[in-house]
Structure 1
Amino acid sequence: MNYEQLVNFLVKEVLNRLQNEPKRGLVIYTGGSIGFKEANDQIKKLLRSNWDLTVLLSRGAEKLLTAELIKRKLGIDCGLTDIDIKDVNNLVNDIEIIIVPILTINTAAKIAMGIRDSLTTYIISSAIIKGIPIIAAKDSCKVGDSFSFSKAPKAYVNMIKNHLKRLEDYGIKLVRANQLYKTTINSSIRNKFAVQLEDDSSCKLNKKVITREDLIKLKNKKKKVFVRKDCIITSLAEELARDTGIEIVRKFD
């Protein structure tokens, strides 16, 4: 095994370990029940995949689902409520992703309109502002062919659809309940290893390990790359940066 092969092997090992690190997520149950079983199955898969999940129940979920039911279905102690949260900012800053297993029409409307009148909507609003990924199951919000909306005016149905469209414009991923696991895993990986454009001459490379392959993609396109202060930069990446005139700046945590 030559030097470059050894480096590539070590980088792959590091990346595998990073991806297997425990990941922190906040699961917010709202006061709905459609897709409950499918969503819980997906949350249990995340728990088995080394995810450290904190579960929060809205006031509606406390009444409809109850903490005891969630605990029994997921097999974990759970059920934070409004009175349990003392510092919302610390709670939000300590998580990588927010998962809403059952997004109700009521909650969707409040988020879309920027209403922050409950702990649930305040947390989600704060996460949107901070750029924290949010994934929500939209099964409870299906109105197009729903029998319960068959007599509703078209304008009313369109209003609900517009609320959901606005959530997507905010960056919230709306999926079916049985897609929560896959979407969460993919979103977590992209969030950890994403390239974010700063301007025409620079970008932010949000990775814990910077390899030669990462910089090859940026060669002749970017002159400055901002990276994490604690990231590892392989020697081959440093060599390519010198040869191509890319300046690597350790800037963010």
Structure 2
Amino acid sequence: MELRELVKLITSEVLKQLNCPAQQEVLVLLTGGRAIWPRVKFKLEEMKNRGIVLRPVLSEAASRIFDPQELSRIFGVTENLEKTELLATVKKSSLVMLPTLTVNTAAKLAGGIQDTEVTCLAGWALMMGKPVIAVTNSADPDSPELQRLGLAGGKPEHKARLRENLKSLARFGVKLVEADYLLPGVMQALGCDPINNSRRFRVEGVLTSAKVQAAAAENYKIIVAKNTVVTPLAKETAAEAGIEICYE
């Protein structure tokens, strides 16, 4: 082994111990939120680099959508587990994560429906009182991702129903975050390196209600970059939460 590779290996192991000394396991429930995957996969790779053990379970849609080689690079060898093994996996997991939550999965979980492997695992985690974290971008009707796909122009009543599903998940104890805040959210839930010591959310592009909710949950200050669009609902949510939106 070359000296450079040896130094890299030692540095990696030291970082793992500093950031997550318990080598905690996270059960990753992948559904078909393809629009957000390019951003989420880098967060998952960073978690792996920080010493977090990721155990993936794929929905049928995710199995068809995502590249097996890419999944193998992130998670290693994936295997199908029996139901009893899945239940045991939930029990020993420190956290259950839904990084590609879809509108469909959010609606099922909000209604207490457990008719698929993924919804069963998420439901079991909630019933056990396990920490559960979900990325909202592919389930939030106000997200830029759904807007780009042309899926955010429906009736206000329908959009309100989708928003209510996410609110129900939050009431159940699910920590809702946007993709950009998945890593600090997971690290904090695991009691590892908090990463963001400044207690600030710096937002670029679009400030949505979901981002404001994430900041409120962590008592972060919102810093809005130049030319960032602040949606009316984000302003309303910030006012209700008593959070000041600061502009650069």
The TM-score by the shorter chain falls in which range? 0.5 to 0.7
TM-score by length of 1: 0.63
RMSD: 2.2
Report Cα offsets for 1:220-245 as digits up to 9, x if no partner.
Answer: xxxxxxxxxxxxxxxxxxxxxxxxxx
- Paired residues in the alignment total 172
Matched, 1:59 2:57: no
**Partner residue of 1:35?**
36
Contact persistence 1:149–1:157 (CA under 8 A): no
**Partner residue of 1:104?**
102
Structure whose alpha-carbon radius of gyration is higher: 1
Equivalent pairs: percent with the same residue? 23
With 135-144 and 120-129 compared, the bigger mean Cα shift is at 135-144
**Partner residue of 1:69?**
70
Q: Specify the SS of the correspondent of 2:88.
A: helix
Q: What residue ranges of structure 2 are gaps of 5+ in the alignment?
A: 1-16, 193-248
**Partner residue of 1:25?**
26
Contact persistence 1:143–1:149 (CA under 8 A): yes
How far did residue 150 of structure 1 move?
A: 4.6
User: Could you tell me how far apart the structure 1 residues matched to 2:68 and 2:169 are?
Assistant: 27
How far did residue 133 of structure 1 move?
A: 0.6
Q: Specify the SS of the correspondent of 2:188.
A: helix
**Partner residue of 2:156?**
154
Q: Specify the SS of the correspondent of 2:163.
A: helix
Matched, 1:168 2:153: no
How far did residue 35 of structure 1 move?
A: 1.6
User: Could you tell me how far apart the structure 2 residues matched to 1:18 and 1:38 are?
Assistant: 22
**Matching residue's letter, 1:31:** G
User: Could you tell me how far apart the structure 2 residues matched to 1:47 and 1:150 are?
Assistant: 34
Q: Specify the SS of the correspondent of 1:21.
A: coil
Distance 1:143 1:181, change over 3 A: same
How far did residue 144 of structure 1 move?
A: 2.6
**Matching residue's letter, 2:76:** D
Contact persistence 2:19–2:51 (CA under 8 A): no
How far did residue 151 of structure 1 move?
A: 3.8
TM-score by length of 2: 0.64
Distance 1:153 1:68, change over 3 A: same
Contact persistence 1:56–1:78 (CA under 8 A): no
Q: What residue ranges of structure 1 are gaps of 5+ in the alignment?
A: 1-15, 191-253
How far did residue 64 of structure 1 move?
A: 1.2
How far did residue 157 of structure 1 move?
A: 0.6
Q: Specify the SS of the correspondent of 1:139.
A: coil
**Partner residue of 2:13?**
none
Report Cα offsets for 1:117-153 as digits up to 9, x if no partner.
Answer: 0010001001001110111111112313626245411
User: Could you tell me how far apart the structure 2 residues matched to 1:118 and 1:50 are?
Assistant: 29
How far did residue 89 of structure 1 move?
A: 2.2
Distance 1:64 1:19, change over 3 A: closer
How far did residue 65 of structure 1 move?
A: 1.2
User: Could you tell me how far apart the structure 2 residues matched to 1:186 and 1:141 are?
Assistant: 23
**Partner residue of 2:185?**
183
How far did residue 84 of structure 1 move?
A: 4.8
User: Could you tell me how far apart the structure 1 residues matched to 2:39 and 2:19 are?
Assistant: 29
**Partner residue of 2:127?**
129
User: Could you tell me how far apart the structure 2 residues matched to 1:144 and 1:121 are?
Assistant: 23
How far did residue 21 of structure 1 move?
A: 1.9
**Matching residue's letter, 1:186:** Q
**Matching residue's letter, 1:102:** T
Distance 1:109 1:51, change over 3 A: same
How far did residue 19 of structure 1 move?
A: 4.9
Q: Specify the SS of the correspondent of 2:32.
A: coil
